[in-house]
Structure 1
């Protein structure tokens, strides 16, 4: 039931239920708010009773109330002071803002700030972060290739990392994609898939560093790894065949190089040996010719003094050398018919040795020896006839 509802007790129309504590209409204040001075007086008396005068008597605000307020204020100050302590990790740096404006960077350890005035944010400056970029890209020779790149970086300046750009990590991702597309756009597809990967990695890192320096992100690139480069799936088989053919070409070149390295020294050594043999033969031939010339020069005065005698002596010496290598026996047909001695045993021994030598030789060598033997026999016969006729004349 409402406090002013009709039918309340005592027939006072609910005045006994006045929430403001007004039980009558004196002063016309039955409809207005309570007296604020009276409210504060009651509150002061309660506080004074708790902290100063437990009996509720004495001064209302000048004594125990002031002490109580001081204690509350001291507690509040203590809470505010101790809440200002904070800790920065060993791998972190703290960026402190005072009333929203950059103030300083604090080192690891226990630090203090005025709560409600200074705020801070801890940033890990030693952790190595990773960012991956990839996608379909157009090459210089108008081919499409799928390229993946992994970027490792760390924070070098916490303030720039937090407040120079809106989101440094997202900005680095966009910069990586831009740098990679710029480098791939200046490269040929064959180079991207095979031998040019290291150059692409280096060029991408240099371009990315230039972008980071221009935007002043507070980041440092640690390493850039070229993860993958492959053609689109629609032409992958053809490119695999091309790569296999290129690898075969390189293998054949290596094999040819090894063969050349094996053959060339042998050929060089053989050519050097033949050259030295030719030089030796040349020296022997020249020396032999010089010896023959010297011998002829010694023989020339003798020939000039007695030409006929010298000719006969030379002829006989030559015949002696020729007949010493043959088994023929010459008989002068113009002799007186005296009995001649024939060395049958020596002739038989020479014939046996000649036959054994013929059997041990090859077919072609045997034919050659046979022809030479016949030629020597014919020459010996003609020379014997000539010698016989000359001996008859002598």
Structure 2
């Protein structure tokens, strides 16, 4: 029975008054100036508390008068209209608050309304009605990495083990979220397909050595074509062939082949270096010989021209005095020939004897004597001896001398 029901005021009627006596008269209810339940230590009446709360909300005292209960019904219950309004206000505030959200600089928000695409929102504050709109956010600036390692068959029917990595980002958040059920799986399958197509069209030597960069570029181009056809919204930034090796069973043989290729390249570099040193030297020597030949040519031409000019001048002098010029030419020719000889021959005109003086032998004897510590003939002494012999011979032949002088 509620506190505000008739017959329950004052705590003096019925059995309650008998059991509690006069003690209940002093225990008043703190919410409506009424007594608590039969137990003085029990909680306050819940209906009274609710009425006071709604009274504060509506501007009226929830307790009303002590006897009649104010705005409450005859059985003590609250009116229905204020409760409905309060619930409606709380629901509206909650609905509006749950619709707010923030889109970061790196993100894009895809909005669906009743399951249909509406728009894609950029960075900033957004509001979408909950339970009506569904929002999916996706980071479109972060570069993501996916890698795989596969064994593939080359064009020349060899097996290679390739490790591939793909760096990609989200180009279209709408396509990435809505167009394909699992875009990452599509990326993996497309990358494997593109890699197998490119490697299957290349030779093993190119896959293992210098052709890896070209293969990576071709795989990226073909992979992007596949992803665009699938409308995955993925942009491939870079494809790397991180490693490519032959099967482990034949790794040793391939290492020997690679070493042989390295030796070949080293020998070629050494030969090229030697050629770079020899060829310029040969070219310089050739240029020097050409210049020397040109200088000799110029020298011979200049000497010939000089001799020709001298002969023309000599011809002029010969025409003036033929006998004197002829004798002078003879003496100059004999002097030029004899001055290079180490032997002296004395020819007496009109005589049958010719004296031979071996100056070279005398010089050799003098050198031997000097080496043995003995004194030998000096060159000056030999020349004096020769001149003395010449003078003695000329003195013994007066007739020839007189004839020569007269002539």
Same fold (TM over 0.5): yes
Q: Of 231, 235, 239, which residue of structure 2 is paired with 1:224?
A: 239
1:103 deviates by 1.4
Partner of 1:253: 268
Given that residues 93 and 123 in structure 1 are in contact (C-alpha distance below 8 angstroms), is that contact kept between their aligned partners in structure 2?
yes
User: Superposed, which structure 2 residues align to 1:180-195 within 5 Å?
Assistant: 180-195=195-210
Partner of 1:75: 90
Alpha-carbon distance between aligned partners in 2 of 1:209 and 1:103, rounded to the nearest angstrom: 27
Q: Of 136, 151, 155, which residue of structure 2 is paired with 1:140?
A: 155
Partner of 1:239: 254
1:131 deviates by 1.0
Q: Please list every run of 5 or more consecutive structure 2 residues that lacks an aligned counterpart in the other structure.
A: 1-45, 55-61, 64-68, 352-358, 372-392
Partner of 1:262: 277
1:179 deviates by 0.8
Given that residues 156 and 203 in structure 2 are in contact (C-alpha distance below 8 angstroms), is that contact kept between their aligned partners in structure 1?
yes
Q: Secondary structure at the match of 1:73?
A: helix
Partner of 1:90: 105
What count of residue pairs does the alignment treat as equivalent? 311
User: Superposed, which structure 2 residues align to 1:97-116 within 5 Å?
Assistant: 97-116=112-131
Partner of 1:213: 228
Partner of 1:118: 133
Alpha-carbon distance between aligned partners in 2 of 1:64 and 1:162, rounded to the nearest angstrom: 50
Task: Tell me the TM-score normalised to structure 1 length.
Answer: 0.68
Quick check: 310-319 or 219-228, which moved more?
A: 310-319
User: Is 1:313 matched up with 2:295?
Assistant: no
Given that residues 48 and 63 in structure 1 are in contact (C-alpha distance below 8 angstroms), is that contact kept between their aligned partners in structure 2?
no
Q: Of 303, 311, 322, which residue of structure 2 is paired with 1:288?
A: 303
1:77 deviates by 2.5
Given that residues 327 and 351 in structure 1 are in contact (C-alpha distance below 8 angstroms), is that contact kept between their aligned partners in structure 2?
no
Q: Secondary structure at the match of 2:149?
A: strand
1:268 deviates by 0.7
Partner of 1:10: none
Quick check: 288-297 or 206-215, which moved more?
A: 288-297
Quick check: 289-298 or 191-200, which moved more?
A: 289-298
Partner of 2:188: 173
Q: Please list every run of 5 or more consecutive structure 1 residues that lacks an aligned counterpart in the other structure.
A: 1-45, 337-346, 360-383
Alpha-carbon distance between aligned partners in 2 of 1:222 and 1:112, rounded to the nearest angstrom: 33
Alpha-carbon distance between aligned partners in 2 of 1:232 and 1:289, rounded to the nearest angstrom: 82
Alpha-carbon distance between aligned partners in 1 of 2:349 and 2:50, rounded to the nearest angstrom: 183
1:244 deviates by 1.2
User: Is 1:204 matched up with 2:219?
Assistant: yes
Q: Secondary structure at the match of 1:94?
A: strand
Alpha-carbon distance between aligned partners in 1 of 2:115 and 2:77, rounded to the nearest angstrom: 41
1:138 deviates by 1.0
Alpha-carbon distance between aligned partners in 2 of 1:233 and 1:329, rounded to the nearest angstrom: 95
Alpha-carbon distance between aligned partners in 2 of 1:217 and 1:280, rounded to the nearest angstrom: 81
1:331 deviates by 5.1
Alpha-carbon distance between aligned partners in 2 of 1:180 and 1:295, rounded to the nearest angstrom: 91
Task: Quote the RMSD (CA, aligned, Å).
Answer: 3.8
Alpha-carbon distance between aligned partners in 2 of 1:292 and 1:57, rounded to the nearest angstrom: 155
Given that residues 72 and 78 in structure 2 are in contact (C-alpha distance below 8 angstroms), is that contact kept between their aligned partners in structure 1?
no
User: Is 1:131 matched up with 2:146?
Assistant: yes
Alpha-carbon distance between aligned partners in 2 of 1:150 and 1:186, rounded to the nearest angstrom: 20
